[in-house]
Amino acid sequence: MSILSKIGLATVLIGVGTLCTNAVQDPQEKKEEVTATDEKMEEKLLNDYNVYALELPEKMDFAGERVPLENPDIRERMDRELLVNTYWQSNGLLIFKRANKYFPIIEPMLEEYGIPEDFKYLAIAESALQNNRSPAGAAGFWHFLKGTGKEYGLEINDYVDERYNLELATKVAAEYLKASKKRFGSWTLAAAAYNAGNAGINKQLKKQQVDDYYDVLLNDETSRYVFRILAFKEILSNPEKYGFNFREKDLYTPVPTYKVKVDTAVTNFAHFAKQFGINYKILKLHNPWLRDNYLKNASGKEYFIEIPEKGHYTTGQ
């Protein structure tokens, strides 16, 4: 018999032996083994992870304006946003991390322009503290549409988009919110108008003959908007209460920078970056408002480009 034949015969015998062993095993024993395994898995899942109903705070306010939680509609809307944002844990942890990096920039600017600190949570509701772009084309941390950004003096073209400049965009957001507050007499309505527009909010208030955000019927997005902001305020103010655990070293921190004034054209930002010991990628990380690798600047406008201080990045350029 050849070696291959012997191997084949041995394989068959092993297979038959296995079948015989399985055949003599008591089916009841197999069932008990499976049941025991299932019970262990269930116990492990229950011990490792639980989902709880959340107890709403007794009192809440936005920018010092009371939230009428005694109203059952208001309680349900608040409960929804707390649940959604508490149990979306990965997003929640990222927001805690980013807030540590960006709130120190946003907070003093809001104070400077007379905007209540609670509006820093509006930036979370808009962009999750990222320089991103919405499907509607709103951009930056504060999600300005191109038309609104230009109306408030931001430069937006193929080379520069100041909606992505956190300091300039925060200033414009403050101006927009102050104008809305003056129009409606309420910070809560000003926040809602940031989402739906001043004209949109004004139209619905007049149509429904009310003057309070909590009394007006709005589209789903705007009706959730202020409650989403309130949820972020509550969760970020009480991380342990909502199950978020982290150490100081887990949070993101800002990289110290200094500003370089540019009032001429820049033909190549990759070359420009190398003059300061960094590469093009790092230059764009700190200046996302620069939209191309060169700048025409025929008008001689002054721009201030942020350069990270030495020692914070290791790069071969």
Per-residue pLDDT tens over the stretch 176-213: 999 999 999 999 999 999 999 999 999 999 999 999 99
Exposed e or buried b per residue across 232-255, where buried means at least 16 C-beta atoms within 10 angstroms of its C-beta:
bbbbbeeeeebebeeeeeeeeeee
* Pair of tokens at residue 225: 């908007």
Picking from 221, 250, 279, the residue at the C-terminal end of a domain is 250
> For residue 96, is it within any domain?
yes
What domain count does the chain have?
Answer: 2
Residue 31: the pLDDT is 54
Question: Which range of residues forms the domain containing residue 269?
Answer: 257-308
Q: Are residues 168 and 300 in the same domain?
A: no
Residue 18: the pLDDT is 42
Residue 2: the pLDDT is 42
Picking from 250, 280, 295, the residue at the C-terminal end of a domain is 250
d(CA 125, CA 195): 10
Among the listed ranges 16-20, 57-61, 125-129, 263-267, which one has the minimum average pLDDT value? 16-20
Q: Are residues 199 and 295 in the same domain?
A: no
- 17 versus 233: the higher-pLDDT residue is 233
Our CA dihedral for 126, 129, 134, 138, rounded to 10 degrees, sits at 70
Q: Can you give the CATH number for the domain in which 97 is found?
A: 1.10.530
Return mean pLDDT, the chain: 89
Q: Are residues 245 and 164 in the same domain?
A: yes
Q: Are residues 263 and 233 in the same domain?
A: no
Per-residue pLDDT tens over the stretch 21-42: 344 445 555 555 656 677 776 6
Residue 312: the pLDDT is 87
Picking from 250, 268, 286, the residue at the C-terminal end of a domain is 250
Q: Are residues 224 and 267 in the same domain?
A: no
Checking if the pLDDT of 17 tops 80, the result is no
Exposed e or buried b per residue across 113-128, where buried means at least 16 C-beta atoms within 10 angstroms of its C-beta:
eebbebbbbbbbbbbe
Q: Are residues 275 and 204 in the same domain?
A: no
